[in-house]
Amino acid sequence: MINRNLQPLKKPWINSSTKDKIIHGFFFFNGLISVFVLVGIFALLVYTSIPAFKEINLTSFLTGTNWNPTSYVKEEYGIVPMLVSTFMVTIGALCIAIPLGIGTAAYLSDVAGNRTREIAKPVVEILAGIPSVVIGFLGIILVGPFLAKIFGTSNGLNALNGSVLLAVMALPTIISISEDALNSVPKNYDQASLALGASKWQTVYKVKIPAALSGIIAACMLGMGRAIGETMTVLMATGCAPAMPESFLGPVRTLTSSIAIELGEVAYNTTHYYALFALGLVLFIITFFINMVSDIILHRFEKVNR
């Protein structure tokens, strides 16, 4: 039998403008999540840090030079030595990693043959996958004794050791992003430069690196972020003595290692517990600040380049 009343084409489940709205909403929601997570973490840190300052004087927290919350005699909460340590190790790491990283990136993008690049690039990326515990272990058994021998110190648990290890950890980030930046410089830039009689070295140094500078700076900033937040490696390799650091050849104790050492055993909801969250807040503010500065720099260079 033939069905006489043929039905019109099935109406779509929803019409296309609603579909658009739903998809728009979905992506908008995804975008919001990361903002919410960030704001949430910040709010949580602030909220859990505030009780610490019922008992700790904010000035002594920010300017004190002794951190000893489990003291036998008198509890003290001063973060200056940890701030100094964190910056020493990070800046040391950057001093090593930036020249090496940019050099490697320039080599990979402009000098190395295809074959070499195809082998070297994955190797650099694998470097990023090495767990920080392993790097810390290498620091104890390899880098530390080596530095001790070179500098004639009695041991290698010092800021320099931490810097070297963090440099190794920051290198993959710096190399891959710098290399991408160098590769995205239009080909006619170096062709023009070479045509004008510049050598390959002059081309890389005077044309390509300046043209890719914004990307390279972003790479260094990301590397810095990696170094500043790293915990396990510095915890294992830098001695962790809480005293004010005296030199790169002395022990240091960073903000991250203090949190890691003490959070495991601290009694919940005590001043010490809240103080550790305050340390986390300080760390958060530092990284936030670094990211903001790098963003500003990036935009400035973009404008100049245009």
E strand or H helix at 67: strand 67-68
Nearer to another protein, 51 or 69 (CB): 69
CB of 142 vs another protein, minimal distance in Å: 12
Nearer to another protein, 109 or 238 (CB): 238
CB of 100 vs another protein, minimal distance in Å: 24
Nearer to another protein, 127 or 244 (CB): 244
Nearer to another protein, 25 or 131 (CB): 131
Maximum Cα–Cα distance across the chain: 101
CB of 229 vs another protein, minimal distance in Å: 10
Residue 239, beta-bridge partner list: 252
Q: Look up tokens 């915990």; give the residue.
A: 231
C-alpha 223, offset from chain centre: 5
CB of 306 vs another protein, minimal distance in Å: 39
Number of H helices and E strands in the chain, helices first, is: 15, 2
- The residues of the shown chain that bind another protein, judged by CB under 8 A, are 66, 68-73, 131-133, 140-141, 145, 148, 154-155, 157, 231-232, 235-236, 239-244, 251, 253, 256, 260-262, 264-267
- Strands 76-77 and 67-68: what pairing? antiparallel
What number of other Cβ atoms are within 10 A of residue 64's Cβ?
Answer: 17
- What whole-number distance in Å separates Cα of residue 106 and Cα of residue 179? 7
Nearer to another protein, 92 or 144 (CB): 144
- What whole-number distance in Å separates Cα of residue 90 and Cα of residue 221? 11
CB of 256 vs another protein, minimal distance in Å: 8
